[in-house]
Structure 1
């Protein structure tokens, strides 16, 4: 039992400097990703960016119903209809529905095909050929005879339907020159590697420098910041009085 006759001070004065809880720097730091984690995230984002281009290409393959939805024109054999450096969009088409033409009429469909290794093609280029259909026949499958609009003569031999990549559906002028110049100079692959490396280095450098600057800034202000506000050393002291004589003794 508590002795109620025990005398308690009539007035108890407490003096204490009440400050807000200091900013927990360690707690904030633990929530921020480490530099290594930031670098890994940056590399993953770059990989996703490159993967996105392949995803777009795949979507075009499905939408246009062809394995080769885009091709760059590397010769002037179809001028003035199609020029060297044009980027062509191809679409799949039933071989039976590919429009036939004549050698002079130029009303046949323009097809893109791969002639490498075909019988009768002694000078087949390594790049896909973009020529107009001037004749076709069926012999256990469709075969097409072609000619470039700007060429004086027709092509060497027939093209089987299995070698057709697609029918030209649209074009963007000049944009293919980038690919032509880089491929002809042999700089396409090295340039892609260099650009990718520089991009990764740039991102890593920015992350490291930003982290260093942030750490220096926090170190300078750590002794003066309390929830982001400066505390003056001569801050007033609050006095709080507790009058225990007015307390209900039954609580004891």
Structure 2
């Protein structure tokens, strides 16, 4: 009787171990499946964003089809945080057009209005060049251009503003002005992901 009880006890332990191993294996497979699913979902989101971006680049012909207004130099036309949709067509740029340009050697694009178009006396001297100014600035942009540069070349132009959406880009400015905020938001997102996994 004692021998049978001992055997029964061993069987129960073995059964418990096997059951635990099955459970652990199932959990591992489920977690593995969840991780793979999350990686696939993330890949889909990134791929969709890239396809949309590339589509905008092709449609607008601009290397940066969407930009965020970072300063108040174009108020009251545009305010900080406004998002602009740009196009870059072969149509000639005229006085009054709002253009986005990059100064050589600098990363941040500038959104300003065309104040003057300089047509060379001889067409062989190249295409017309531009002078820009912010609507809210007292003087033109020659102080912003590189030393010795008086005009913008067509190659400096990223695009012309064709549409805008107010304040949508404000989070970009907040992250730029307060870099710590970026890490706080990322930390909160990580905590949310951890808690959602536990559920």
TM-score by length of 1: 0.57
User: 133, 136, 139: which is aligned to 2:114?
Assistant: 133
Q: 2:42 aligns with which of 20, 41, 46?
A: 46
> Equivalent residue for 1:178?
171
- The 8 Å contact of residues 43 and 200 in structure 1, kept in 2 or not, is answered as no
1:130-173 deviation line (CA, Å, top 9, x unaligned): 11112223532342111111111111131111111100001111
* Equivalent residue number for residue 10 of structure 2: none
Candidates 120, 130, 143, aligned match of 1:144: 130
Is 1:85 aligned with 2:66?
A: no
Q: Normalising by structure 2, what TM-score?
A: 0.70
Q: CA deviation at 1:199?
A: 5.3
* Greater relative contact order (Cα < 8 A, sep 6+): 1
Q: 2:139 aligns with which of 150, 153, 160?
A: 153
Q: CA RMSD in A?
A: 2.6
Partner of 1:159, secondary structure, is coil
- Do the aligned partners of 1:179 and 1:188 also contact (CA within 8 Å) in 2? no
Q: Give 1:38 shift.
A: 2.4
List aligned pairs for 1:1-252, cutoff 5 A: 34-94=30-90, 97-99=92-94, 101=95, 108-117=96-105, 126-136=107-117, 137-138=119-120, 139-156=125-142, 157-187=150-180, 190=183, 193-194=186-187, 197-198=190-191, 200-206=193-199
Task: Structure 2: state its 5+ residue gaps.
Answer: 1-21, 143-149
Which one has a bigger Cα radius of gyration? 1
CA–CA distance in 2 between the matches of 1:129 and 1:97?
Answer: 19
**How many residue pairs get matched?**
162
Uncovered stretches (5+) of structure 1, i.e. residues with no partner: 1-25, 102-107, 118-124, 207-252
Higher helix proportion (structure 1 or 2): 2
